[in-house]
Structure 1
Amino acid sequence: MRGEDRPGTTRRSVLRAAVVLPLAAACSAPSGSTAPSGSTAPSGSAAPQAGPAPSAATSAAATPSARPPTGEVERATSGRPEVALTFHGAGDLDLARKVLGTLHDRGAGVTVLAVGTWLQQSPDAARIVTDLGHELGNHTWSHRDIDGLAESAARVEIERCRDLIAAATGGPGAFFRPSQAQHATPEVRALAAAAGYPTVLSYNVDSRDFTDPGAAAIRRNVATATAGSVVSMHLGHPGTLAALPGLLDDLAARGLTPVTATRLFG
Protein backbone atom coordinates (compact mmCIF):
# COMPACT_ATOMS: atom_id res chain seq x y z
CA MET A 1 0.00 0.00 0.00
CA ARG A 2 1.23 3.45 -0.81
CA GLY A 3 -0.16 6.80 0.19
CA GLU A 4 -2.48 5.64 2.95
CA ASP A 5 -1.89 5.22 6.66
CA ARG A 6 -1.19 1.52 6.76
CA PRO A 7 -2.69 -0.32 9.78
CA GLY A 8 -0.19 -2.38 11.70
CA THR A 9 2.84 -1.06 9.81
CA THR A 10 6.07 -2.54 11.14
CA ARG A 11 8.57 -1.39 8.52
CA ARG A 12 12.08 -0.89 9.74
CA SER A 13 12.97 2.74 10.04
CA VAL A 14 16.27 4.16 8.90
CA LEU A 15 16.17 6.83 11.54
CA ARG A 16 19.12 6.84 13.92
CA ALA A 17 17.60 8.09 17.17
CA ALA A 18 16.37 5.46 19.61
CA VAL A 19 14.62 7.22 22.43
CA VAL A 20 11.55 5.75 24.13
CA LEU A 21 9.39 8.40 25.70
CA PRO A 22 7.15 8.08 28.76
CA LEU A 23 3.44 8.16 28.08
CA ALA A 24 2.26 11.72 28.43
CA ALA A 25 -1.11 13.28 28.83
CA ALA A 26 -2.77 14.68 25.75
CA CYS A 27 -1.64 18.09 24.62
CA SER A 28 -3.31 21.31 25.65
CA ALA A 29 -6.83 22.27 24.66
CA PRO A 30 -7.39 22.39 20.89
CA SER A 31 -6.06 25.18 18.80
CA GLY A 32 -8.36 23.94 17.01
CA SER A 33 -6.27 9.64 6.80
CA THR A 34 -7.59 12.87 1.13
CA ALA A 35 -6.65 10.23 1.43
CA PRO A 36 -5.35 7.93 -0.78
CA SER A 37 -7.43 5.87 -2.93
CA GLY A 38 -5.80 2.53 -3.50
CA SER A 39 -2.19 3.14 -4.43
CA THR A 40 -2.48 6.79 -5.38
CA ALA A 41 -0.99 9.66 -3.46
CA PRO A 42 -3.22 11.39 -0.89
CA SER A 43 -5.84 13.53 -2.57
CA GLY A 44 -5.18 17.18 -2.03
CA SER A 45 -1.52 16.55 -1.26
CA ALA A 46 1.25 17.73 -3.50
CA ALA A 47 4.99 17.65 -3.66
CA PRO A 48 6.43 19.88 -0.94
CA GLN A 49 6.40 23.52 -1.89
CA ALA A 50 8.09 26.48 -0.41
CA GLY A 51 6.66 27.13 3.00
CA PRO A 52 7.66 28.06 6.51
CA ALA A 53 11.10 26.79 7.38
CA PRO A 54 11.21 24.63 10.49
CA SER A 55 11.96 26.60 13.61
CA ALA A 56 14.29 25.24 16.23
CA ALA A 57 11.87 26.33 18.96
CA THR A 58 9.24 24.87 18.70
CA SER A 59 -11.08 -4.48 6.14
CA ALA A 60 -12.99 -3.00 9.12
CA ALA A 61 -11.54 -2.14 12.48
CA ALA A 62 -7.77 -1.98 12.52
CA THR A 63 -6.40 -4.74 14.66
CA PRO A 64 -5.61 -3.10 18.01
CA SER A 65 -2.27 -3.86 19.57
CA ALA A 66 -2.33 -5.44 23.02
CA ARG A 67 -0.55 -2.42 24.44
CA PRO A 68 0.02 0.90 22.64
CA PRO A 69 3.67 1.94 22.30
CA THR A 70 4.96 4.20 25.06
CA GLY A 71 4.25 7.82 24.15
CA GLU A 72 1.29 6.90 21.92
CA VAL A 73 -2.44 6.54 22.52
CA GLU A 74 -4.94 4.58 20.42
CA ARG A 75 -7.99 4.38 22.69
CA ALA A 76 -9.10 5.88 26.01
CA THR A 77 -9.82 3.88 29.14
CA SER A 78 -11.88 6.41 31.10
CA GLY A 79 -15.05 4.42 30.58
CA ARG A 80 -16.95 7.50 29.39
CA PRO A 81 -19.33 6.75 26.49
CA GLU A 82 -17.31 8.82 24.03
CA VAL A 83 -15.38 8.19 20.82
CA ALA A 84 -12.98 10.37 18.85
CA LEU A 85 -13.55 10.69 15.12
CA THR A 86 -10.20 11.76 13.66
CA PHE A 87 -9.77 12.94 10.10
CA HIS A 88 -6.85 12.97 7.69
CA GLY A 89 -6.87 16.64 6.68
CA ALA A 90 -6.47 16.99 2.92
CA GLY A 91 -8.52 17.03 -0.25
CA ASP A 92 -11.14 19.32 -1.73
CA LEU A 93 -11.81 22.23 0.60
CA ASP A 94 -15.53 22.51 -0.24
CA LEU A 95 -16.00 18.83 0.58
CA ALA A 96 -14.04 19.26 3.81
CA ARG A 97 -16.23 22.22 4.72
CA LYS A 98 -19.37 20.11 4.21
CA VAL A 99 -18.02 17.22 6.29
CA LEU A 100 -16.97 19.49 9.14
CA GLY A 101 -20.19 21.51 8.92
CA THR A 102 -22.31 18.37 9.11
CA LEU A 103 -20.42 17.27 12.22
CA HIS A 104 -20.79 20.72 13.79
CA ASP A 105 -24.52 20.79 13.08
CA ARG A 106 -24.90 17.45 14.83
CA GLY A 107 -22.95 18.64 17.86
CA ALA A 108 -19.94 16.41 17.15
CA GLY A 109 -16.43 17.67 17.84
CA VAL A 110 -13.65 15.98 15.88
CA THR A 111 -9.89 16.14 15.43
CA VAL A 112 -8.39 16.96 12.03
CA LEU A 113 -4.80 15.82 11.55
CA ALA A 114 -3.82 18.15 8.75
CA VAL A 115 -1.27 17.60 6.01
CA GLY A 116 0.90 20.71 5.75
CA THR A 117 0.70 21.05 1.97
CA TRP A 118 -3.11 21.08 2.26
CA LEU A 119 -2.95 23.94 4.76
CA GLN A 120 -0.55 25.80 2.49
CA GLN A 121 -2.68 25.31 -0.62
CA SER A 122 -5.93 26.08 1.23
CA PRO A 123 -5.25 29.10 3.47
CA ASP A 124 -8.80 29.00 4.89
CA ALA A 125 -8.57 25.34 5.95
CA ALA A 126 -7.21 25.87 9.47
CA ARG A 127 -9.79 28.56 10.21
CA ILE A 128 -12.64 26.40 8.91
CA VAL A 129 -11.62 23.56 11.23
CA THR A 130 -11.34 25.70 14.34
CA ASP A 131 -14.27 28.03 13.63
CA LEU A 132 -16.57 25.00 13.51
CA GLY A 133 -15.40 23.93 16.96
CA HIS A 134 -13.06 21.14 15.87
CA GLU A 135 -9.39 20.77 16.76
CA LEU A 136 -6.36 20.72 14.51
CA GLY A 137 -3.34 18.45 14.68
CA ASN A 138 -0.21 17.61 12.67
CA HIS A 139 -0.11 14.84 10.04
CA THR A 140 3.31 15.77 8.58
CA TRP A 141 4.13 18.26 5.86
CA SER A 142 3.61 16.17 2.73
CA HIS A 143 2.36 12.74 3.87
CA ARG A 144 5.49 10.86 2.84
CA ASP A 145 6.34 7.46 4.30
CA ILE A 146 7.87 8.88 7.46
CA ASP A 147 9.34 5.53 8.53
CA GLY A 148 11.41 5.45 5.35
CA LEU A 149 12.97 8.88 5.82
CA ALA A 150 16.30 9.84 7.28
CA GLU A 151 16.09 11.49 10.70
CA SER A 152 16.69 14.98 9.32
CA ALA A 153 13.97 14.61 6.68
CA ALA A 154 11.48 13.19 9.17
CA ARG A 155 12.17 16.11 11.51
CA VAL A 156 11.45 18.58 8.70
CA GLU A 157 8.15 16.81 7.91
CA ILE A 158 7.01 17.25 11.51
CA GLU A 159 8.36 20.73 12.19
CA ARG A 160 7.35 22.31 8.89
CA CYS A 161 3.71 21.31 9.40
CA ARG A 162 3.88 22.37 13.05
CA ASP A 163 5.12 25.83 12.11
CA LEU A 164 2.33 26.36 9.58
CA ILE A 165 -0.29 25.32 12.16
CA ALA A 166 1.30 27.67 14.69
CA ALA A 167 1.24 30.54 12.21
CA ALA A 168 -2.49 29.95 11.62
CA THR A 169 -3.62 29.20 15.17
CA GLY A 170 -0.94 30.37 17.60
CA GLY A 171 -0.04 26.85 18.73
CA PRO A 172 1.41 23.61 17.33
CA GLY A 173 -1.91 21.76 17.31
CA ALA A 174 -3.30 19.14 19.63
CA PHE A 175 -1.54 15.95 18.50
CA PHE A 176 0.86 14.49 15.95
CA ARG A 177 0.00 11.44 13.83
CA PRO A 178 2.62 9.79 11.59
CA SER A 179 1.98 9.56 7.86
CA GLN A 180 1.48 6.21 6.11
CA ALA A 181 1.60 4.31 9.41
CA GLN A 182 -0.88 3.41 12.12
CA HIS A 183 1.79 3.50 14.83
CA ALA A 184 4.85 5.68 15.28
CA THR A 185 8.26 4.15 15.77
CA PRO A 186 10.27 5.11 18.88
CA GLU A 187 12.43 7.30 16.64
CA VAL A 188 9.45 9.19 15.21
CA ARG A 189 7.93 9.56 18.67
CA ALA A 190 11.18 11.10 19.87
CA LEU A 191 11.17 13.61 17.01
CA ALA A 192 7.51 14.43 17.64
CA ALA A 193 8.15 15.02 21.35
CA ALA A 194 11.07 17.30 20.52
CA ALA A 195 8.75 19.25 18.21
CA GLY A 196 6.18 19.79 20.97
CA TYR A 197 3.96 16.69 20.73
CA PRO A 198 4.51 14.52 23.82
CA THR A 199 1.69 12.18 22.77
CA VAL A 200 1.27 10.62 19.33
CA LEU A 201 -2.34 9.92 18.34
CA SER A 202 -2.96 6.52 16.77
CA TYR A 203 -6.34 4.79 16.32
CA ASN A 204 -7.93 1.42 16.93
CA VAL A 205 -10.79 1.59 14.39
CA ASP A 206 -10.23 2.17 10.67
CA SER A 207 -13.25 3.35 8.70
CA ARG A 208 -11.49 2.43 5.44
CA ASP A 209 -13.26 5.37 3.85
CA PHE A 210 -10.18 6.14 1.74
CA THR A 211 -10.96 3.01 -0.29
CA ASP A 212 -14.33 4.51 -1.31
CA PRO A 213 -16.31 1.41 -0.27
CA GLY A 214 -19.65 3.23 -0.08
CA ALA A 215 -21.54 4.79 2.81
CA ALA A 216 -22.96 1.51 4.11
CA ALA A 217 -19.53 -0.11 4.37
CA ILE A 218 -18.09 2.92 6.15
CA ARG A 219 -20.94 2.76 8.66
CA ARG A 220 -20.31 -0.95 9.25
CA ASN A 221 -16.62 -0.35 9.84
CA VAL A 222 -17.23 2.45 12.32
CA ALA A 223 -19.85 0.32 14.08
CA THR A 224 -16.96 -1.63 15.61
CA ALA A 225 -16.11 1.43 17.74
CA THR A 226 -16.77 1.18 21.46
CA ALA A 227 -16.40 3.61 24.36
CA GLY A 228 -12.92 5.13 24.18
CA SER A 229 -12.25 4.24 20.54
CA VAL A 230 -10.29 6.47 18.19
CA VAL A 231 -11.58 6.19 14.60
CA SER A 232 -9.52 7.00 11.50
CA MET A 233 -11.42 8.84 8.75
CA HIS A 234 -10.66 11.16 5.82
CA LEU A 235 -12.03 14.52 4.71
CA GLY A 236 -11.36 14.10 1.00
CA HIS A 237 -13.92 11.47 -0.02
CA PRO A 238 -17.60 12.00 -0.95
CA GLY A 239 -18.51 8.64 0.57
CA THR A 240 -17.43 9.91 3.96
CA LEU A 241 -19.87 12.80 3.74
CA ALA A 242 -22.64 10.47 2.57
CA ALA A 243 -21.99 8.10 5.48
CA LEU A 244 -21.98 10.73 8.23
CA PRO A 245 -25.71 11.13 8.99
CA GLY A 246 -26.26 7.40 9.42
CA LEU A 247 -22.92 6.94 11.16
CA LEU A 248 -23.78 9.59 13.73
CA ASP A 249 -27.23 8.05 14.20
CA ASP A 250 -25.57 4.66 14.80
CA LEU A 251 -23.28 6.09 17.48
CA ALA A 252 -26.14 7.92 19.17
CA ALA A 253 -28.27 4.77 19.20
CA ARG A 254 -25.49 3.07 21.15
CA GLY A 255 -25.11 5.99 23.55
CA LEU A 256 -21.71 7.09 22.15
CA THR A 257 -20.83 10.77 21.79
CA PRO A 258 -18.20 11.94 19.25
CA VAL A 259 -15.69 14.28 20.91
CA THR A 260 -12.28 15.70 20.11
CA ALA A 261 -9.25 13.58 20.95
CA THR A 262 -8.25 16.13 23.58
CA ARG A 263 -11.62 15.66 25.27
CA LEU A 264 -11.47 11.86 24.95
CA PHE A 265 -8.10 11.64 26.69
CA GLY A 266 -8.69 14.55 29.05
Structure 2
Amino acid sequence: MRKIVLISALLIGAWLTVNNPFSHTYVTGLKTETMPVAGQEHSLIAEIETKGKEYEVEPSNARKDPVWKLIPGYNGLKIDVKASHEKMKKDGKFDPDKLVYQEVSPEVHLSDLPPMAIYKGHPEKPMVSFIINVAWGNEYLSGMLATLKKHNVKASFFLEGRWVKNNPGLAKMIADAGHELGNHSFTHPNMKQLSAPAINEEIRKTNEVIEAVTGAQTKWFAPPSGYYKDEVVEIAAAHKLGTVMWSVDTIDWQKPSPEKLINRVMGKVHNGALILMHPTESTAASLDQLITQIKGKELQIGTVSDMLSEKRVMSKKMQE
Protein backbone atom coordinates (compact mmCIF):
# COMPACT_ATOMS: atom_id res chain seq x y z
CA MET A 1 0.00 0.00 0.00
CA ARG A 2 2.80 2.38 0.88
CA LYS A 3 4.50 1.51 -2.45
CA ILE A 4 1.34 2.36 -4.38
CA VAL A 5 1.03 5.73 -2.63
CA LEU A 6 4.68 6.57 -3.45
CA ILE A 7 4.27 5.74 -7.14
CA SER A 8 1.08 7.79 -7.33
CA ALA A 9 2.83 10.79 -5.76
CA LEU A 10 5.65 10.56 -8.30
CA LEU A 11 3.22 10.40 -11.22
CA ILE A 12 1.26 13.42 -9.92
CA GLY A 13 4.54 15.34 -9.47
CA ALA A 14 5.66 14.56 -13.00
CA TRP A 15 2.25 15.63 -14.40
CA LEU A 16 2.39 18.92 -12.52
CA THR A 17 5.93 19.60 -13.76
CA VAL A 18 5.06 19.04 -17.43
CA ASN A 19 1.81 20.99 -17.24
CA ASN A 20 3.20 23.81 -15.15
CA PRO A 21 2.52 27.06 -17.06
CA PHE A 22 6.03 28.27 -16.30
CA SER A 23 7.54 25.08 -17.78
CA HIS A 24 5.32 25.44 -20.85
CA THR A 25 6.48 29.04 -21.34
CA TYR A 26 10.14 28.03 -21.03
CA VAL A 27 9.91 25.21 -23.59
CA THR A 28 7.93 27.36 -25.98
CA GLY A 29 10.56 30.08 -25.62
CA LEU A 30 13.30 27.65 -26.52
CA LYS A 31 11.43 26.61 -29.66
CA THR A 32 10.79 30.16 -30.78
CA GLU A 33 14.45 31.08 -30.23
CA THR A 34 16.03 28.20 -32.16
CA MET A 35 13.64 27.57 -35.05
CA PRO A 36 13.87 30.96 -36.76
CA VAL A 37 17.69 30.93 -36.58
CA ALA A 38 17.90 27.51 -38.22
CA GLY A 39 15.33 28.58 -40.79
CA GLN A 40 17.24 31.77 -41.58
CA GLU A 41 20.50 29.86 -42.06
CA HIS A 42 18.83 27.38 -44.41
CA SER A 43 17.24 30.25 -46.33
CA LEU A 44 20.58 32.07 -46.69
CA ILE A 45 22.34 28.94 -47.95
CA ALA A 46 19.58 28.42 -50.51
CA GLU A 47 19.91 32.06 -51.59
CA ILE A 48 23.68 31.71 -52.01
CA GLU A 49 23.17 28.56 -54.09
CA THR A 50 20.62 30.29 -56.33
CA LYS A 51 22.00 33.81 -56.70
CA GLY A 52 25.62 32.65 -56.68
CA LYS A 53 25.12 30.98 -60.06
CA GLU A 54 24.84 34.45 -61.63
CA TYR A 55 28.47 35.10 -60.65
CA GLU A 56 29.91 31.80 -61.84
CA VAL A 57 32.01 31.63 -65.03
CA GLU A 58 32.45 28.63 -67.31
CA PRO A 59 36.06 27.56 -67.93
CA SER A 60 37.48 28.20 -71.40
CA ASN A 61 39.28 25.39 -73.24
CA ALA A 62 42.66 25.77 -74.90
CA ARG A 63 42.14 25.88 -78.66
CA LYS A 64 43.72 26.18 -82.07
CA ASP A 65 43.25 29.51 -83.84
CA PRO A 66 43.64 30.14 -87.59
CA VAL A 67 45.63 33.33 -86.94
CA TRP A 68 47.17 33.01 -83.45
CA LYS A 69 47.96 29.26 -83.67
CA LEU A 70 47.37 28.22 -80.04
CA ILE A 71 45.32 30.03 -77.41
CA PRO A 72 45.71 28.76 -73.81
CA GLY A 73 42.71 27.83 -71.69
CA TYR A 74 41.40 29.86 -68.76
CA ASN A 75 39.93 28.61 -65.50
CA GLY A 76 36.27 29.20 -64.73
CA LEU A 77 34.78 30.22 -61.38
CA LYS A 78 32.42 28.28 -59.10
CA ILE A 79 30.90 29.54 -55.84
CA ASP A 80 32.06 27.85 -52.65
CA VAL A 81 28.68 27.85 -50.90
CA LYS A 82 29.95 26.72 -47.48
CA ALA A 83 32.78 29.30 -47.33
CA SER A 84 30.48 32.05 -48.65
CA HIS A 85 27.90 31.26 -45.97
CA GLU A 86 30.57 31.49 -43.27
CA LYS A 87 31.34 35.05 -44.40
CA MET A 88 27.67 36.10 -44.64
CA LYS A 89 26.01 34.37 -41.69
CA LYS A 90 26.92 37.08 -39.17
CA ASP A 91 24.85 39.65 -41.08
CA GLY A 92 22.32 37.01 -42.09
CA LYS A 93 21.89 38.33 -45.64
CA PHE A 94 23.22 37.66 -49.14
CA ASP A 95 26.17 39.89 -50.09
CA PRO A 96 27.82 39.34 -53.50
CA ASP A 97 31.00 41.01 -52.25
CA LYS A 98 31.41 38.19 -49.72
CA LEU A 99 31.13 35.35 -52.22
CA VAL A 100 34.05 32.91 -52.10
CA TYR A 101 35.17 31.44 -55.42
CA GLN A 102 36.84 28.21 -56.49
CA GLU A 103 38.65 27.95 -59.82
CA VAL A 104 37.40 25.30 -62.24
CA SER A 105 39.88 23.83 -64.72
CA PRO A 106 38.94 23.54 -68.42
CA GLU A 107 38.66 20.15 -70.08
CA VAL A 108 41.19 20.90 -72.86
CA HIS A 109 44.71 22.11 -72.02
CA LEU A 110 47.62 23.30 -74.18
CA SER A 111 49.28 19.95 -73.53
CA ASP A 112 46.32 18.18 -75.17
CA LEU A 113 46.85 19.99 -78.49
CA PRO A 114 49.49 19.40 -81.19
CA PRO A 115 52.65 21.56 -80.85
CA MET A 116 52.13 24.99 -82.37
CA ALA A 117 53.56 28.46 -81.71
CA ILE A 118 51.82 30.72 -79.20
CA TYR A 119 51.53 34.44 -79.95
CA LYS A 120 49.41 35.62 -77.02
CA GLY A 121 47.57 34.57 -73.88
CA HIS A 122 43.87 34.14 -73.28
CA PRO A 123 41.91 37.26 -74.36
CA GLU A 124 40.02 37.42 -71.04
CA LYS A 125 43.12 37.32 -68.85
CA PRO A 126 44.13 40.86 -67.78
CA MET A 127 47.86 40.18 -67.83
CA VAL A 128 50.80 40.86 -70.16
CA SER A 129 54.31 39.47 -70.29
CA PHE A 130 57.66 40.96 -71.27
CA ILE A 131 59.69 38.71 -73.58
CA ILE A 132 63.25 40.04 -73.33
CA ASN A 133 65.54 38.38 -75.87
CA VAL A 134 69.19 38.62 -74.87
CA ALA A 135 72.13 38.05 -77.21
CA TRP A 136 73.78 41.48 -76.72
CA GLY A 137 73.13 44.75 -74.88
CA ASN A 138 74.98 43.95 -71.65
CA GLU A 139 75.38 47.60 -70.74
CA TYR A 140 71.62 48.07 -70.30
CA LEU A 141 70.76 44.91 -68.37
CA SER A 142 71.59 46.16 -64.87
CA GLY A 143 69.40 49.24 -65.30
CA MET A 144 66.50 47.17 -66.63
CA LEU A 145 66.80 44.71 -63.76
CA ALA A 146 66.74 47.60 -61.28
CA THR A 147 63.59 49.02 -62.87
CA LEU A 148 61.84 45.64 -62.84
CA LYS A 149 62.76 45.21 -59.18
CA LYS A 150 61.48 48.71 -58.34
CA HIS A 151 58.05 47.77 -59.71
CA ASN A 152 58.14 44.19 -58.39
CA VAL A 153 57.75 42.85 -61.93
CA LYS A 154 59.01 39.47 -63.12
CA ALA A 155 59.83 39.10 -66.82
CA SER A 156 60.92 36.24 -69.08
CA PHE A 157 64.48 36.57 -70.40
CA PHE A 158 65.19 34.39 -73.42
CA LEU A 159 68.95 33.85 -73.46
CA GLU A 160 71.17 32.91 -76.37
CA GLY A 161 73.33 29.98 -75.29
CA ARG A 162 76.55 31.48 -76.62
CA TRP A 163 75.82 34.68 -74.66
CA VAL A 164 75.27 32.68 -71.44
CA LYS A 165 78.59 30.90 -71.98
CA ASN A 166 80.39 34.24 -72.40
CA ASN A 167 78.45 36.10 -69.67
CA PRO A 168 77.75 33.62 -66.87
CA GLY A 169 77.71 36.35 -64.20
CA LEU A 170 74.98 38.36 -65.95
CA ALA A 171 72.95 35.22 -66.68
CA LYS A 172 73.10 34.26 -63.00
CA MET A 173 72.17 37.82 -62.00
CA ILE A 174 68.98 37.58 -64.06
CA ALA A 175 68.11 34.19 -62.57
CA ASP A 176 68.90 35.27 -59.01
CA ALA A 177 66.53 38.24 -59.43
CA GLY A 178 63.69 35.71 -59.83
CA HIS A 179 63.05 36.16 -63.53
CA GLU A 180 62.07 33.31 -65.82
CA LEU A 181 64.72 32.05 -68.25
CA GLY A 182 63.93 30.84 -71.75
CA ASN A 183 65.82 29.29 -74.66
CA HIS A 184 66.80 31.63 -77.54
CA SER A 185 68.99 29.17 -79.52
CA PHE A 186 72.76 28.87 -79.17
CA THR A 187 74.10 30.97 -82.06
CA HIS A 188 71.04 33.06 -83.07
CA PRO A 189 70.60 31.47 -86.53
CA ASN A 190 67.61 31.56 -88.87
CA MET A 191 65.98 28.41 -87.48
CA LYS A 192 63.80 28.14 -90.57
CA GLN A 193 66.83 27.30 -92.71
CA LEU A 194 68.34 24.65 -90.44
CA SER A 195 68.20 20.87 -90.76
CA ALA A 196 66.52 18.84 -88.03
CA PRO A 197 69.84 17.78 -86.41
CA ALA A 198 71.04 21.41 -86.41
CA ILE A 199 67.77 22.62 -84.85
CA ASN A 200 68.06 19.97 -82.18
CA GLU A 201 71.66 20.95 -81.42
CA GLU A 202 70.83 24.68 -81.10
CA ILE A 203 68.07 23.95 -78.58
CA ARG A 204 69.88 21.20 -76.67
CA LYS A 205 73.14 23.10 -76.16
CA THR A 206 71.30 26.19 -74.94
CA ASN A 207 69.25 24.25 -72.42
CA GLU A 208 72.41 22.63 -71.10
CA VAL A 209 74.43 25.83 -70.69
CA ILE A 210 71.54 27.72 -69.04
CA GLU A 211 71.05 24.93 -66.51
CA ALA A 212 74.80 24.55 -65.89
CA VAL A 213 75.26 28.29 -65.22
CA THR A 214 72.02 29.19 -63.42
CA GLY A 215 70.49 25.90 -62.29
CA ALA A 216 67.27 26.84 -64.11
CA GLN A 217 65.39 24.55 -66.46
CA THR A 218 63.70 26.28 -69.38
CA LYS A 219 60.06 25.77 -70.40
CA TRP A 220 59.83 28.03 -73.45
CA PHE A 221 61.69 28.59 -76.72
CA ALA A 222 61.73 31.90 -78.63
CA PRO A 223 63.05 31.55 -82.21
CA PRO A 224 65.61 34.24 -83.12
CA SER A 225 64.04 37.02 -85.21
CA GLY A 226 60.79 35.05 -85.16
CA TYR A 227 61.92 32.66 -87.92
CA TYR A 228 60.62 29.12 -87.53
CA LYS A 229 58.91 26.24 -89.32
CA ASP A 230 56.72 23.43 -88.01
CA GLU A 231 59.78 21.21 -87.56
CA VAL A 232 61.34 23.77 -85.19
CA VAL A 233 58.21 23.77 -83.01
CA GLU A 234 58.07 19.96 -82.99
CA ILE A 235 61.74 19.57 -82.03
CA ALA A 236 61.33 22.19 -79.29
CA ALA A 237 58.33 20.21 -78.01
CA ALA A 238 60.48 17.06 -77.95
CA HIS A 239 62.70 18.99 -75.51
CA LYS A 240 59.53 19.81 -73.51
CA LEU A 241 59.61 23.45 -74.63
CA GLY A 242 56.65 25.47 -75.87
CA THR A 243 57.41 27.88 -78.73
CA VAL A 244 56.43 31.49 -78.09
CA MET A 245 56.30 34.49 -80.40
CA TRP A 246 54.79 37.92 -79.64
CA SER A 247 51.71 40.06 -80.28
CA VAL A 248 53.27 43.47 -79.49
CA ASP A 249 56.72 44.47 -80.77
CA THR A 250 58.60 47.42 -79.28
CA ILE A 251 60.86 47.49 -82.38
CA ASP A 252 63.47 48.76 -79.92
CA TRP A 253 66.31 47.69 -82.24
CA GLN A 254 65.35 50.69 -84.41
CA LYS A 255 66.36 52.95 -81.48
CA PRO A 256 63.05 54.83 -81.12
CA SER A 257 62.71 57.61 -78.57
CA PRO A 258 61.22 56.53 -75.23
CA GLU A 259 58.03 58.45 -76.05
CA LYS A 260 57.66 56.71 -79.41
CA LEU A 261 58.31 53.27 -77.93
CA ILE A 262 55.78 53.80 -75.12
CA ASN A 263 53.13 55.16 -77.50
CA ARG A 264 53.63 52.20 -79.82
CA VAL A 265 53.23 49.63 -77.05
CA MET A 266 50.32 51.36 -75.30
CA GLY A 267 48.48 51.71 -78.60
CA LYS A 268 48.64 47.95 -79.15
CA VAL A 269 48.63 46.46 -75.64
CA HIS A 270 45.79 44.05 -74.85
CA ASN A 271 44.76 41.26 -72.50
CA GLY A 272 47.25 38.42 -72.95
CA ALA A 273 49.86 40.48 -74.79
CA LEU A 274 53.34 39.05 -75.24
CA ILE A 275 55.53 42.16 -75.55
CA LEU A 276 58.84 41.69 -77.33
CA MET A 277 61.87 43.72 -76.25
CA HIS A 278 65.66 43.60 -75.98
CA PRO A 279 68.22 45.16 -73.63
CA THR A 280 68.56 48.37 -75.65
CA GLU A 281 69.00 51.99 -74.66
CA SER A 282 65.44 52.74 -75.85
CA THR A 283 63.88 50.01 -73.73
CA ALA A 284 65.99 50.79 -70.67
CA ALA A 285 64.90 54.46 -70.86
CA SER A 286 61.23 53.57 -71.45
CA LEU A 287 60.73 50.71 -69.02
CA ASP A 288 59.78 52.67 -65.91
CA GLN A 289 56.99 54.63 -67.60
CA LEU A 290 55.93 51.63 -69.67
CA ILE A 291 55.34 49.54 -66.54
CA THR A 292 53.47 52.39 -64.84
CA GLN A 293 51.16 52.91 -67.82
CA ILE A 294 50.47 49.20 -68.32
CA LYS A 295 49.54 48.84 -64.64
CA GLY A 296 47.39 51.96 -65.02
CA LYS A 297 45.29 49.98 -67.48
CA GLU A 298 44.69 47.45 -64.68
CA LEU A 299 46.83 44.86 -66.42
CA GLN A 300 49.14 42.67 -64.36
CA ILE A 301 52.64 41.93 -65.63
CA GLY A 302 53.90 38.37 -65.21
CA THR A 303 56.23 35.81 -66.72
CA VAL A 304 55.34 33.87 -69.84
CA SER A 305 54.51 30.87 -67.64
CA ASP A 306 52.22 33.03 -65.47
CA MET A 307 50.50 34.51 -68.48
CA LEU A 308 49.97 31.28 -70.41
CA SER A 309 48.77 29.35 -67.35
CA GLU A 310 45.06 28.67 -66.88
CA LYS A 311 45.08 30.36 -63.48
CA ARG A 312 42.73 33.33 -63.29
CA VAL A 313 43.74 36.85 -62.40
CA MET A 314 41.47 37.56 -59.43
CA SER A 315 40.31 41.04 -58.47
CA LYS A 316 41.32 42.36 -55.04
CA LYS A 317 37.71 42.02 -53.88
CA MET A 318 37.68 38.31 -54.83
CA GLN A 319 40.95 37.73 -52.96
CA GLU A 320 39.68 39.19 -49.66
Which TM-score applies when normalising by structure 2? Answer: 0.59
After TM superposition, give the deviation of residue 114 of structure 1 in Å.
0.5
After TM superposition, give the deviation of residue 98 of structure 1 in Å.
1.3
Question: 5+ unaligned residues in a row in structure 1: which ranges?
Answer: 1-22, 25-63
1:252 partnered with 2:253: no
After TM superposition, give the deviation of residue 87 of structure 1 in Å.
0.3
1:232 partnered with 2:233: no
1:157 partnered with 2:202: yes
1:137 partnered with 2:187: no
Mean Cα deviation higher: 75-84 or 224-233 = 75-84
After TM superposition, give the deviation of residue 204 of structure 1 in Å.
0.7
What does 1:61-72 align with in structure 2 at a 5 Å threshold? 66-68=67-69, 70-72=115-117
> Contact (CA 8 Å) 2:252, 2:282: kept in 1 or not?
yes
Distance 1:201 1:134 in 2: 17
Determine helix, strand or coil for the equivalent of 2:275: strand
Distance 2:198 2:221 in 1: 16
Query: Which of 168, 179, 183 in structure 2 is aligned with 1:123?
Result: 168
Query: Which of 189, 194, 204 in structure 1 is aligned with 2:233?
Result: 189
Determine helix, strand or coil for the equivalent of 1:73: coil
Partner amino acid for 1:234? H
Distance 2:264 2:140 in 1: 21
Query: Which of 306, 311, 314 in structure 2 is aligned with 1:263?
Result: 306
Determine helix, strand or coil for the equivalent of 1:71: coil
Partner amino acid for 2:191? I
Corresponding residue for residue 152 of structure 2: 107
Partner amino acid for 1:195? H
How many residues are paired up?
202
After TM superposition, give the deviation of residue 258 of structure 1 in Å.
1.3
Determine helix, strand or coil for the equivalent of 1:180: helix
After TM superposition, give the deviation of residue 88 of structure 1 in Å.
0.7
After TM superposition, give the deviation of residue 67 of structure 1 in Å.
3.0
> C-alpha offsets along residues 128-167 of structure 1, whole Å, 9 cap, x if unaligned?
1121121100000011111111222222111111110121
> Contact (CA 8 Å) 1:116, 1:140: kept in 2 or not?
yes
Q: Which has the higher contact order (CA 8 A, sep 6+)?
A: 1
> Contact (CA 8 Å) 1:135, 1:174: kept in 2 or not?
no
Query: Which of 70, 76, 82 in structure 1 is aligned with 2:127?
Result: 82
Distance 1:228 1:216 in 2: 23
1:98 partnered with 2:99: no
Distance 1:174 1:220 in 2: 31
Distance 1:260 1:67 in 2: 19
In percent, how many aligned pairs have the same letter?
24
> C-alpha offsets along residues 173-220 of structure 1, whole Å, 9 cap, x if unaligned?
1311111226x32100111112231x1111111110111111111112
After TM superposition, give the deviation of residue 105 of structure 1 in Å.
1.4
Q: Which runs of 4+ in 1 moved over 4 A?
A: none
Structure 1 pair 222–191 and aligned structure 2 pair: CA distance change class (3 A): same
> Contact (CA 8 Å) 1:139, 1:176: kept in 2 or not?
yes
Corresponding residue for residue 243 of structure 2: 200
> Contact (CA 8 Å) 1:111, 1:137: kept in 2 or not?
yes
Which TM-score applies when normalising by structure 1? Answer: 0.71
After TM superposition, give the deviation of residue 95 of structure 1 in Å.
1.5
